[in-house]
Amino acid sequence: MADQTFTISELAAELEISTRTIRYYEELGLISPGRTAAGNQRIYNRRDRARLKLILRGKKFGFTLAEIKEMLDLYDVDPTREEQLKRTLQYGEEKLKEIDQKIEELILLKEDLLQMRQRLLDELEQRRAGKERQPP
């Protein structure tokens, strides 16, 4: 099981991403698959599969590919994972601040829209009331 390998098509199907996306991640150095003996087909191992899952999770959380690459590369450099954990926490804190800011902006936008809606409803009601009072 430790030497289990995957084709690009198998990984793409399992992770529900395109083969082009996987090749793009390879171009960026996020994953580095091996090749068949003939050298004409990429062969991915369990490590590549795990890295792809981490990349997708990082993207889901809003990290850039450069940030994800840095976090993944730190794992390879520091066997204790301490630096990787610190950097991941740092990026996570920054992402939480961004989310809080977006939430605040959305709350303000919602308040503005509710006020505008109320003004429009009031104006519509005034127009209806004015038409009812007009003589035929």
Q: From the CB of residue 58, how many other CB atoms can be counted at a distance below 10 Å?
A: 21
Give the DSSP letter string of 75-134.
HHH-TT-HHHHHHHHHHHHHHHHHHHHHHHHHHHHHHHHHHHHHHHHHHHHHHHHHHHHS
pLDDT of 136 reads 62
Model confidence at 38: pLDDT above 80: no
What confidence tens digit (pLDDT) does each residue in 100-122 have? Answer: 999 999 999 999 999 999 999 99
CATH code, 1-61: 1.10.1660.10
Q: What is the mean pLDDT of the chain?
A: 92
What confidence tens digit (pLDDT) does each residue in 75-103 have? Answer: 888 888 899 999 999 999 999 999 999 99
Q: Hey, what are 57's tokens?
A: 């999770």
Enumerate the domain spans of the chain. Answer: 1-61
Model confidence at 135: pLDDT above 70: no
pLDDT band at residue 57 under the 50/70/90 scheme:
very high
Model confidence at 70: pLDDT above 90: yes
